[in-house]
Chains A and B, each alone.
Chain A
């Protein structure tokens, strides 16, 4: 049995919009528009999509916060809304914009309170907390009231709070939002460590694709509430024709943009001192050889396909297609 199952999952919101001076019109926003997805135990799933794609709404339906309308979801075999409190024992949730912590109390107290809320035996709780303290460097601010924590410190606290009851599934909605590089690395390292153990299922939403690259083998892209890609990052690259790039630094700018067979010129930068070619059918050696005949090369670099770029291309394509026609998985 899959840990997470969604079939025909939908969510509509009725919103009232101003139409004229006094009149208000009802309009239906379809936030999630028929998602079918299964996630197996131990999977690390990156769940991404442009702003307003329906990611948070999906997570809220899976955690029992929102009622689907209509459609069905099962998490750990439970119906999220109907069996909400039972499910809560088995999942951990971090909504990056929300807090599970007690604002006016020291961080340590929040953890102790959650031990009571989740009814975790003291020994287990202590062992997990000790581990999080080590991995996330909590000791420095464990006695600071939560309202005085920086965003990055608080987020490390939130992650710990979500894990102290040993959840089977972890839902993280933008856990790295607003964090500096060091904090991001700490969080990613921590989650990677969790993933390596292999029995926690992770669903991660983010706009920082480095999170995904670092952590997730499977990537689900949604747009306008529908799945537009489901597969590995490599599958995404090959599907949307991501190419490796050759960046050549020249001593002097060329009078005309060079044409190399099988490697179209993508960009000219630094007043013509830097040329970027995409590798289509040509090899790196052929590009270098072709350029060497035209100019003095100072440096050559090969750039692997960029996830930001392929995802940006995917978002643009789905936007042009009205978000509806690009479907199916590789």
Chain B
């Protein structure tokens, strides 16, 4: 038991002074930390390799179902809310990819109540990294990659076969809109999850917004009516995920009368959603109460 100082003391990382800026060159360190967390999650899931492979393919199911539903509907009707099959599939493609990608990257935040109960949330809070990215990376459901691939496939196929008149603006939009949709759905996941900081059994409410939103964005908003459309399309903003960008891509006027430029600014709504989510998370974490034991 020689040299008892080795554990601490001379080898301390952080200077003992309270203030002062973080040392320069800290940033790559932070990224390295997140990368390490992601690697750990991949290795943890590899520990259950057989079930991982089953999940990987089993998981495509729900996403395929969305597309099949649309195809079945068009078996009995020629138009859906005034839109043809090819036009509707563009909407489906935007929605499927955005939701699948957000679900992969952010969706597990709906397990926040479990993180609280198991103490993972406390553990994450005493580490020198932001809490939200840690939770997302530590529980990233890699098996959901297959859905993203499928969603991307639907998007590419539908956009390719819809007879879009390509301009530089539309090329930009077809790249930006799915990513904005991802950010939008991710923000919805985070915002609804923060309700459980105050009310632990809020899961059903959160699900009805997120999954309700996904279903909503899979069809032209014209098929819905009344207060329901008003609430989901413009109250919660889901019309800006797939409907309006699809109109702009297809060069169609909005049957409901909104001006054409709405489709081009629709991605901006995702930034508003992200700002709201960030605020909700910050406020929520200050109301976090941990558990009694």
Chain A residues within CB distance 8 Å of chain B = 13, 56, 60, 63-67, 76-78, 81, 84-86, 88-91, 93, 95, 97-100, 102-105, 109, 112-113, 116-121, 124, 127-128, 131-132, 135, 145, 163, 165-168, 193-194, 196-197, 199-200
- SS class of chain B's interface: helix, strand, loop or mixed? loop
Interface residues of B in 1-48 (CB under 8 A from A): 1, 4-9, 11-14, 16, 18-19, 22, 26, 29-30, 32-33, 35-37, 40, 43-44, 47-48
Kindly list 11 other residue pairs between chains A and B, CB separation below 8 angstroms, not including A66-B290, A77-B19, A98-B122: A67-B286, A67-B288, A78-B18, A85-B127, A105-B47, A116-B35, A119-B128, A120-B13, A197-B4, A197-B5, A199-B8
Residue on B with the closest CB to A194? B7
What is the interface residue range for chain B against chain A?
Answer: 35 or more
Whether a CB of chain A sits under 8 angstroms from the CB of B289 is yes
Chain B residues within CB distance 8 Å of chain A = 1, 4-9, 11-14, 16, 18-19, 22, 26, 29-30, 32-33, 35-37, 40, 43-44, 47-48, 119, 122-123, 125-130, 286-290, 293
Contacts of A131 in B (CB 8 A): 6-7
CA distance A93 to B44 in the complex (A): 24
Tell whether, in the assembled complex, residue A90 and residue B123 are in contact, meaning their CB atoms are under 8 Å apart.
Answer: no
Contacts of B16 in A (CB 8 A): 76, 168
Tell whether, in the assembled complex, residue A200 and residue B8 are in contact, meaning their CB atoms are under 8 Å apart.
Answer: yes
Tell whether, in the assembled complex, residue A105 and residue B40 are in contact, meaning their CB atoms are under 8 Å apart.
Answer: yes
Q: Residue B44 contacts which of A86, A104, A199 (CB distance < 8 angstroms)?
A: A104
Tell whether, in the assembled complex, residue A168 and residue B122 are in contact, meaning their CB atoms are under 8 Å apart.
Answer: no
Tell whether, in the assembled complex, residue A88 and residue B128 are in contact, meaning their CB atoms are under 8 Å apart.
Answer: yes
When A and B form their complex, what is the total count of cross-chain residue pairs whose Cβ atoms lie within 8 Å? 135
Q: Residue A124 contacts which of B13, B119, B127 (CB distance < 8 angstroms)?
A: B13
Q: Residue B8 contacts which of A84, A121, A197 (CB distance < 8 angstroms)?
A: A197
Residue on A with the closest CB to B11? A124
Tell whether, in the assembled complex, residue A85 and residue B289 are in contact, meaning their CB atoms are under 8 Å apart.
Answer: no
Taking the closest CB of chain A, its distance from the CB of B110, in whole angstroms, is 20
Given A88-B127, A197-B4: A102 touches B40 (CB 8 Å cut-off): yes
CA distance A127 to B5 in the complex (A): 11
Contacts of B32 in A (CB 8 A): 116, 119
